[in-house]
Every structure is written in C-alpha cells, then in structure tokens.
Structure 1
Amino acid sequence: MGERVFLVVGYHSAELLDIACVTSALQFANRIGAEPRYRAVLATPGKDDITCDSGLRLAADAGLERFNETIDTLVVSGGLGHEDAAASPLLVGHVRRLATLARRVASVCTGATVLAEAGLLTRRRATTHWRYAERLARRYPEVQVDPGPVYVRDGNVATSGGVTSALDLTLSFIEEDHGPALARAVAMGTVAYLQRPGEQAQLSIFLIPGITDDLMVRRLTEHIVSRLDQTLTTATLARLAGVSERHLSRLFLAAVGETPAQYVRRVRTESAAQLLSTPLPLTAVARRCGFGSTESLRQAFLDRYGMPPSRYRRNAPAGVEVGPKPI
C-alpha cells in the first residue's frame, strides 16, 4: 500500500493548532515507524497562503480546485474564519467533492460548520467546540449536535471539539491504522498526558471551578476535588454551605449544569481516569476517588466513557502517580 494522504483544508483565520496537532502527530508517527507513511497536504482555495488566527502565515501545498488524488483522510480545520469558509460556495463545493475521494472525513473544532454546510453531517451525530455547539445546532437542525465529547465518530465521518482535541482524534486514526502501540508511542512522544477516548468530556472537572462566578459553588468544587475519599452527599455539602439541599442543587445546575451528586460522580470518574495512567491497582484507585468498590468504579466508567477502567488504562501512557489536587 502507498502512503496515506491526509488532506487538511485551510483558509484565512484558521486556527494554527487545529492544523498543527494533526500534521505534527502524523509526522511523529512517520518518524517512529508508521508503514505505510502519512503525507500531510495543506490545501487552500487557489493554493493561496493563509494567515492563521495567530497571525502566522502558512504556505499551501495544493489548491482545493486541482486536487484529484485518492485521499485517505480529509480534515477541515476550524478557526475564527469558519463562518466565512462555510459561506464560500467554492470552498464548500470542493470539500463536498473531495469527501467522495476520501476513506475518512473529519473536522476539527468549528470546521464542523463547513462539513455541515456541505451536507456531510446530515442525520449524523457530531461535535464541535463547546462554545459554538448551540449555534451549530440552531443553524443545522438536521445535525445531531453533542457538545460534550472530545470527538465523535459516526460511520466514516469524525468531528472533534476544540483545538487540541485534534490530537486526540488524530491519535484515534493512528491507532485504527497502525494499532494501539504506535498510537500510544505518539501520545508519549508528543507529551500528551493521556490518550483520551472520544467520549471524554471537553470540559474537564479541573477547569469548571475557574469558569463559574458563583463563589459558593467554586468553594464547594474545590472542596470536592481535594476530598474525593470523604463523604460528599448533597446533604453533607449543603450543611457545609449552610443552605438547603434544594437551593444547593439550583446553584449547581445554574453554575455547572449538573446537580451536586452528578458533579461529584463526574469528578470521581475523571480523577480515577487520571490515576489509571499510574501503576495503582484498581482497588486503590477506587478507594482514593471515593468509590465504594471496583464494581462501582467500573459502572461509572461504563456510564461516562463507554468502556471499563481496564480498557481505559490500556489507552493511557505511563505517568507519575498523583492524587487529586485542589484547583
């Protein structure tokens, strides 16, 4: 088999990381033994150079209009220019045409808007950057938009969340093409702490406290993250805050979109996911994160990630043993 061509679609005000996460992971895979090798090609309208969000200019390898090679994977980048890109009949038309030449079709971040405009997401489940998910769903009601996952694969079409999720999606492609050992080596080589499964949430519990202005909720989330092995029932948290359970639930729903119980379960599961990159046995992971048993831990992983912790651990490169820390 010849080389695998990844055709990356760029345009003015594309996000540089959306492009670089894909191309850098592929080149790292080549360096450590991917066979057949990958060839990343940046294609733009007219083969014009593009200026990225960051202000850096990129030289195109090919023009969208003239590219007619067989494509392994077509990837549409996201960025602040995605609306203008989706409004361009030339760009959208050639994305639609090139998709017929590709084995796989994908988008990074807001590149999903271009795929939706091209009709490639119709009646498919898809994701995008969480900030733009509601807008995508309103504009394209025929697309089943899910703002939660890092990436979603529906048939031969894949969409990913914001920016660095491009690396997670590319790692999943490398694993599909060359097996988990090479994908794990690329993850370690690019210093990706964890090769995240697609169903992992874009918004980690380690970020939530920093994006809510509610001081009480912030203090409680910090308390939860730093005391996972303690009793964290809604009643316990309400007593700590000096409010009723009903009022506490209203505050959490408004601030983080979950009840206290749902938030605690998610914190415990995500923290356990971090610890699975260490040699700790499952019983110790479960105890440290506040699960009553390894079976409770297993059920939480099935509910959140669609896989048991043992499989999740196989996807995680070895790391340094750390415990949950306050934010």
Structure 2
Amino acid sequence: MIGVLIFPDFQLLDAAGPISVFEIAARYAGQSPSIRVLAATPGPVRSSSGVEMLARGLKSAGAITTLIVAGGEGVDVAAKGKTTLAFVRRLAQRGVRLASVCSGAHLLAEAGLLDGRRATTHWQRTRQFLAIHPKVKWEPDRIFVRDGDIWSSAGITAGIDLALAMASEDFGEAIAQQTARQLVLYHRRSGGQSQFSSLLELKGPSGRFGPLLTWAREHLDAPLTVEDLAEQAGMSSRHFTRAFIAETGSTPSKAIERLRIEVARQRVQASGEAIERVAELTGFRDPERMRRAFIRAFGQPPQSMRRAARAV
C-alpha cells in the first residue's frame, strides 16, 4: 500500500502526481490501486492552491509499505510537528520505503532520517537546506536520488519521475514504461534538474550499449554513422541496428540526435559560444538543422533557451 503524507498548504501536484502514477501502474499490473492519503489531522486538507484533499489519520497507516511525503509552502510548519516527525521515524524503523517530493525532504531531514545520506530537493530550497541540515549530502542537480530505502526528488513534477522509478521496482520495467506512455511522459528524464538527458532517457543506458553511448557522446563532432557505431561495437551494421533497437527502444540515428541535442543544449545554456560553433562541435554542422532539432525537443530555438538561461 502506498501512503501519501500531506499537510496544510501542501503542493497539490506533489501528491497527485505520484498518486496517478501508482494508480495507473497498478491497473496495468492487473491490481486494484491501494493508495491512502494521510495527515496529522484527518479530514479535508487544503493545498496551497486552495483545492482540498481528503486525508485519513496517521493511525490508519499500519498496512502501508511506501510513504511519500509531499512538499509545498506548509512544509516548514509541518516539519515542526512532533506527532508527524515521530510517525515518520516509526515507519523508518519498521523498514517502510520512504520518499519525499520537492521540499518534503525538509520533513525527512528534520526527522533525522537523511543525516549522512544523499538527497535532493527543489533547486530553490537547496541553499536553505544546506544551512539547516549540514549533515545531509545534498545533490542539487538531480531529478531524484535513492539512498537505500529513502528516496527524494526535486521540484514538483520530479515526484512523477520518482514514482515511475518506484513503479519500475514494484511492477517491472514494462509496466513503468506503459504508465509513462499513458501519462504522455518520458520514461526517464535527466539525472539533472536541467530536465533533459538522452543517455538516461534511453532504456537500459548501463546495458550492453552503455559504453558505446558514452563513447558517442565524446565524439559528437564526428559523423557517427550506423557503420561507425557498428564498427565501434564490433558488430555488423545490420545486426547492430537490430540489437540496438531491441536494447534501447531507439534507432541508432535517433539516439545520436538526442545526444547531440543534449550536449548542444548544455553548451547553449552554459557558455557564450556562437550558435554556429555549438552546431559544429556537436555534429549538427548546420545551425538551421540544430535549430529545428531544438524546436522538436524543447519547443523553442537555441537563442531562446540561451536568453532564458541568462535571465535565471
């Protein structure tokens, strides 16, 4: 059973996102969803948007095996609640899998459950939490982090990424992929809050073709044809293409384009290099070709992404 812990002024999507993931995944697995919303004070709990969610009391958590703690504007007050902190500690002692979404990590840290552990949170709260919880190994550029039985995720929608990873563990990779498709989401997003990483989006990046993809990333200025990739993998072109699609769910050419897009995005946002130079170094050659690829992937051209990054 999945438990979702909320409190007054919680962020609605922090709770609703993971709930939807586990509901859909359970149905694909042929099971009835088993999800319970919990709060220190049972009854309607008002989110920061004004929308209420009906919660049960903490005493009804006996059967849960996973607890997801929402974040939001009310987390600072919730993290001072002795009853809530004691409840979370008891679940940890019982071996329940714990997770936080966004600033919900503050509540787990206040309970002392993140001391000495790796964790992440929304990028806007990282500096504050570093000062408040110096014993936590904060990783600010991660979509989600798992350290043993404790998971944490970055801002808001990252709770969906975290829940998809948990669903993969609970129901299997195929169910998690089906769930992501139903939600019209990437199965895996970036390990960074930059929101995009082609290597991690590909199925099984640490599998048979993991080293090849890493090599390709380091040689994006080369043509990287199917024949080049097959030779590097020590396979015939035909066999390589079939095996690559079966392993990653992507054609070699699509995978290389996604790698080019990722590296080009990083250069565009983090450097002052000319757009033409970025296109050359990442193998697009033609800036117009790179512009079209950016619009397909991000909905905006490189120049707009650079302006937005500088504004931040």
TM-score, length-normalised on structure 1? 0.62
Which moved further from structure 2: 149-158 or 23-32? 23-32
| Aligned AA (2:257) | V
CA separation of 1:288 and 1:167: change in aligned 2, threshold 3 A = closer
| Aligned AA (1:195) | H
Q: 2:57 aligns with which of 59, 63, 88?
A: 63
Alignment of 1:305-316 (within 5 A): none
Matched, 1:51 2:46: yes
Matched, 1:103 2:96: yes
Contact kept? 1:71, 1:101, Cα under 8 Å: no
Matched, 1:28 2:21: no
State the secondary structure of the residue aligned to 1:12.
coil
CA–CA distance in structure 1, aligned partners of residues 259 and 112 of structure 2: 48
Q: Deviations over 1:132-185 (max 9, x none)?
A: 011111101110111100000000100000001111001001111111110000
CA–CA distance in structure 2, aligned partners of residues 278 and 102 of structure 1: 38
- Structure 1, gaps ≥5 residues long: 207-228, 232-275, 292-321
CA–CA distance in structure 2, aligned partners of residues 141 and 120 of structure 1: 13
4+ residue runs of structure 1 moved beyond 4 angstroms?
286-291
CA–CA distance in structure 2, aligned partners of residues 100 and 278 of structure 1: 42
User: In structure 2, what is the equivalent of residue 323 of structure 1?
Assistant: 293
CA separation of 1:283 and 1:7: change in aligned 2, threshold 3 A = closer
User: In structure 1, what is the equivalent of residue 66 of structure 2?
Assistant: 73
**Alpha-carbon distance, 1:71 to partner:** 2.1
CA separation of 1:134 and 1:283: change in aligned 2, threshold 3 A = closer
CA–CA distance in structure 1, aligned partners of residues 160 and 259 of structure 2: 31
TM-score, length-normalised on structure 2? 0.65
User: In structure 1, what is the equivalent of residue 126 of structure 2?
Assistant: 133
**Alpha-carbon distance, 1:18 to partner:** 0.3
User: In structure 2, what is the equivalent of residue 200 of structure 1?
Assistant: 191
**Alpha-carbon distance, 1:69 to partner:** 1.5
Contact kept? 1:69, 1:101, Cα under 8 Å: no
Q: 1:285 aligns with which of 241, 253, 257?
A: 257
CA–CA distance in structure 1, aligned partners of residues 251 and 87 of structure 2: 49
CA separation of 1:164 and 1:71: change in aligned 2, threshold 3 A = same
User: In structure 2, what is the equivalent of residue 40 of structure 1?
Assistant: 35
Q: Deviations over 1:282-319 (max 9, x none)?
A: 6752795598xxxxxxxxxxxxxxxxxxxxxxxxxxxx
CA separation of 1:156 and 1:284: change in aligned 2, threshold 3 A = closer
Q: 1:8 aligns with which of 4, 8, 12?
A: 4
User: In structure 2, what is the equivalent of residue 147 of structure 1?
Assistant: 140
Contact kept? 1:128, 1:147, Cα under 8 Å: yes
Q: Deviations over 1:9-48 (max 9, x none)?
A: 000000000000011111111222255x541100011213
**Over aligned residue pairs, what C-alpha RMSD do you find?**
2.6
CA separation of 1:289 and 1:187: change in aligned 2, threshold 3 A = closer
State the secondary structure of the residue aligned to 1:55.
coil
| Aligned AA (2:93) | T
CA–CA distance in structure 2, aligned partners of residues 107 and 114 of structure 1: 8
| Aligned AA (2:293) | G
Contact kept? 2:3, 2:36, Cα under 8 Å: yes
CA–CA distance in structure 2, aligned partners of residues 31 and 286 of structure 1: 32
CA separation of 1:34 and 1:18: change in aligned 2, threshold 3 A = farther
Contact kept? 1:71, 1:102, Cα under 8 Å: no
CA–CA distance in structure 1, aligned partners of residues 188 and 262 of structure 2: 22
